[in-house]
A and B are shown apart, each in its own frame.
Chain A
Amino acid sequence: MGPLIPEILSDQWNNIIAIITGMAFGFVLESSGFSSSRKLVGVFYGYDFAVLRVFFTAAVTASIGLLFMDYFGWIDMAALDGLPARVWPIIVGGLIMGLGFVTGGFCPGTCITAIGIGKLDGYMFFGGIILGVFVFSEMFPLFENFYNSSNLGDVTVPEYFNINPYWFTVGVSIIAIVAFYAVMLIQKRIKSVEY
């Protein structure tokens, strides 16, 4: 990586930085109101789009920030790695995750936030996660082939379609702004819900 890591921040700091960023992340989640499942599922019923705004903003901010830091040579983007892009398993997994989200009212991170402020449904949801992880692990051999299928490797969208990552980021920013505007219009039409 660049001078920021490992020269200024050496590898020994990894766990400490992880704890600090984790706490900051949890704090921001809680203060955005993400410990309330009514607010979270609002995105599915159209009365509250905070989830979409927060996560889309996070993605845009992070990508612009990383590209700038990369440009100044502070970090080396090529050394970052993501999960391998397994197309169909990710689509199916996303559907299952969405189903869990809309029925349970949390996503894995926000249920921890809910536990943090002592919500009982957060505890229930977390128990469900542990149960799901257990069932998944035990049944893993059954769908191992599917799990590893259609693997494109560790690619990003600009790499796969061979487009300029900078213009791709411009596009994503514009899409984000358009999406924010669109959901604002939707929200105006839908009867507001007290929660």
Chain B
Amino acid sequence: MKKRYIFLAIVPIVLSLVLAFLPDKSNSIDAKRNQKILKSAKYTGVTPNNLLLESVNSNRFIQPDELAKVIIGQDPSYLLVDLRDAVQYEKFTLPGAINIPYEEILTKENQAVFDSEAYNVVLFSNGTIVPDQVWMILRRAGIKNLKVLNGGVNQFYQLYLNPPKPLETDSEEAFENYSYRKAVGAHLGLPNPDEFIPKGRENVQSSTIATGLKPVVKPAVKAAPKVVVPKKAEGGDEGC
């Protein structure tokens, strides 16, 4: 056997032995196994730094007045996603909203719904905390076009059910806002705040909302889940 072969055979064995005896592999593959398991859902999202910047920025919010315009205009480029559970969704929701309880946001079908280029997805729940958390998870999963309804569905209805009445000294704009909100309330089938009877509030709210609202934009938005199921390209890595 040639000496050259013996030398070449010794090289990989020595090198791999050196590897095995290297001290402190804290930043190496062995230590990163757990991280990899965490990342095993293919990570394509924003980096942690950018996510931090985005999370202190209020750009992700959509204000109730903007959303009202979307709902009234039946803007087909918006997909409303109700993150509450099915029971609450059945009771009342925003017109045209689809229901994805927040426990189920990471299932494959729901990911496909979120991950559509065609829509601006508006996340909402009763408040802002849950949609904010969902926003963060989905942003990390690389999903764009996400909006969070500021104040949640509670504040949304509050705003149109009982819009804050401007003072007589307020600007004209405040009055315009007030009448706009009243008009939105009327469109949504809410009682006129000027003729509002506080006693019957609970009944009025639940009954009008439950019956009057749901079907408004529904057909346009319902089609969403069918649209995009991006099939992952696989294979292509040949051995030789």
Contact = CB atoms under 8 A, between A and B. Distances in A.
Contacts of A110: 240
Contacts of A164: 20, 30
A169 B19 contact: yes
Contacts of A70: 28-29
Interface stretch (B186-194, B220-228, B230-238): B230-238
Interface stretch (B9-17, B134-142, B150-158): B9-17
B14 to A, nearest CB: 9
Interface stretch (B31-39, B72-80, B93-101, B122-130): B31-39
B27 interface: yes
B34 to A, nearest CB: 9
Contact of B25 (A71, A97, A177): A71
Contacts of A108: 238, 240
Highest count of chain A CB atoms <10 Å: which of B25, B32, B36, B42 = B36
Given A64-B16, A177-B12, A78 B240 contact: no
B40 interface: yes
Contact of A78 (B5, B20, B39): B39
A64 B238 contact: no
Interface residues of B, number: 29
Nearest to B22: A71
B239 interface: yes
Contacts, number: 85
Nearest to A81: B42
Given A55-B240, A165-B30, A83 B235 contact: yes
Nearest to B238: A108
The listed residue with most B CB atoms (<10 A of its CB), out of A68, A107, A173, is: A173
B238 A173 contact: no
Contacts of A67: 19, 28-29
Interface in A167-184: 167, 169-170, 172-174, 176-177, 180-181, 184
Interface string A59-81: 01100100110110100111101
A167 B27 contact: no
Given A60-B12, A64-B19, A71-B19, A165 B240 contact: no
Given A55-B240, A71-B25, A78 B16 contact: no
Contact of B32 (A77, A107, A109, A181): A77
Nearest to B35: A78
A183 to B, nearest CB: 12
A154 B238 contact: no
Contacts of A84: 234
A64 B22 contact: no
Contact of B15 (A55, A64, A78, A82): A64
A174 B17 CA distance: 10
A97 to B, nearest CB: 8
Contact of B19 (A55, A79, A166, A180): A166
A157 to B, nearest CB: 13
Interface of A: 29, 55, 60-61, 64, 67-68, 70-71, 73, 76-79, 81-84, 97, 107-110, 153-154, 159, 164-167, 169-170, 172-174, 176-177, 180-181, 184
23 contacts: A55-B239, A64-B15, A67-B19, A67-B29, A68-B19, A71-B22, A71-B28, A77-B29, A78-B32, A78-B33, A82-B237, A107-B239, A159-B33, A165-B29, A166-B22, A167-B20, A169-B16, A169-B19, A169-B20, A172-B16, A174-B13, A176-B12, A180-B9
